[in-house]
Structure 1
């Protein structure tokens, strides 16, 4: 496949997806990772995409794109500076001795790494987070039961009728967010999000600013059930006004990569 053909293939993928990983492009084009990275450099220099850690992202624009669930191992390494800034800010909201629920997803994983050694009880259905806290944490850890769903990496029993625990705070991420609320595409994540929010006094959303441009098909939680939201300093003015208009309290986590509004 020629350079031009590969570039056309990558540009076509970015018309359908917000992110394409190096590994995915290697599989599609049949060239080496080094060649794919050179292609990404050229496309980024030409303004046809944005070079990011692990791959290439579509340019932000007025058209809201259809969100795609990426494997956790890939999503964890996207927008890392933003996710870590959000995680560190969120950690300041957790009181020692309290109980919290942590949802699945990469931003919640980064948050979990920040509070792993705290004197708190953590309940989660996330397998990657549970593995990290088991190996690196000292907090009390409780896992939700049920079948293993490898993607999106959770334990869940859809036939379960209620839970016998209650928490002070529920921390949750999302694939997208808009005036409708938190948006997801995986039905188990939608159901789990609704379940867990009913078990806590306060629901706190952790989303990087890219998520305001995504439009997955299903509302997991309406904005009326969100008590607070933490995002990064790439938040656009229009998205900030949307949160204000809907009465959502939000906090901006400062990063070194804030891209203005």
Structure 2
């Protein structure tokens, strides 16, 4: 059956549109190319879906994509993110783990991909990990060769991470070789961004604590832009993403001076 025929059938269309809404709930905003890749449909079909969903008031269309109403400020909870791009996140984490050596001191931010990275570091020796993520800390709690340093701060339940002034102050005197951070969007225009001000403050402090900032972002985040900038493009040393990321945005990021490594799940 062709994509055209499947796109016209009510059952297929309803399932695909629900998938589009789940993706937007997890990411705030996505480009047409990203959505088409994620739901395995043509851009023509997805554009038709976006028109229908917008007519029902379920999303706001933007140039080249869509966002949920209020998408710039919506922060998806952890449970929504866990089912999005799981194979891609695992491949990104696997590559990032190869950048961490015995004896390293690193910062790991909150997020599903950094959680996957932490799970792959349990065999390192003499590793120091500074984090605000409860999930990262739990993943490394029984690792014999890892010392985990938690920031202070107030718990932000939806993302299982500590935020606020105490978290930022605890990072102020810290210096590590690399910070691995994620966020809700990464673009050539603004770098990394997040929809929450408190989260943004901690992510900025993490970037300031590191000689190098490595962004871990699956394709659903590449080209997306949310309300608060966390790390400008000129502070991102490396972006690790997957092969479904929009090529034009990757080219723009490279032109902005960001090294890009693309993994294949």
Give the TM-score, by structure 1 length.
Answer: 0.73
Which of these residues, 120, 145, 157, is aligned with residue 152 of structure 2? 145
In the other structure, the counterpart of 1:36 is none
Unaligned runs of 5+ in 2: 1-9, 27-38, 50-62
Unaligned runs of 5+ in 1: 21-42, 50-60, 256-261
In the other structure, the counterpart of 1:18 is 24
Which of these residues, 174, 178, 182, is aligned with residue 169 of structure 1? 178
State the aligned residue count: 218
Deviations 1:9-49 (A, max 9, x none): 994895696148xxxxxxxxxxxxxxxxxxxxxx9999667
CA RMSD of aligned residues (A): 3.0
Does structure 1 residue 63 correspond to structure 2 residue 65?
A: yes
In the other structure, the counterpart of 2:210 is 200
The separation in 2 between residues aligned to 1:97 and 1:141, in whole angstroms, is 13
In the other structure, the counterpart of 2:80 is 74
Cα 1:208–1:194 change in 2 (3 A) is same
Report the CA distance between 1:136 and its aligned residue: 5.7
| Residue aligned with 2:172, SS | coil
The separation in 1 between residues aligned to 2:180 and 2:129, in whole angstroms, is 11
Report the CA distance between 1:113 and its aligned residue: 0.8
The separation in 2 between residues aligned to 1:249 and 1:64, in whole angstroms, is 27
Deviations 1:185-210 (A, max 9, x none): 01121101111111111100000011
| Residue aligned with 2:239, SS | strand
Does structure 1 residue 183 correspond to structure 2 residue 189?
A: no
Contact 1:64 1:214 in 2 (8 A): no
Deviations 1:200-245 (A, max 9, x none): 1110000001112422122111101111110011122211211121
Which of these residues, 116, 131, 140, is aligned with residue 133 of structure 1? 140
Greater share of helix? 2
Contact 1:180 1:222 in 2 (8 A): yes
In the other structure, the counterpart of 2:109 is 103
In the other structure, the counterpart of 2:3 is none
Contact 1:87 1:111 in 2 (8 A): yes
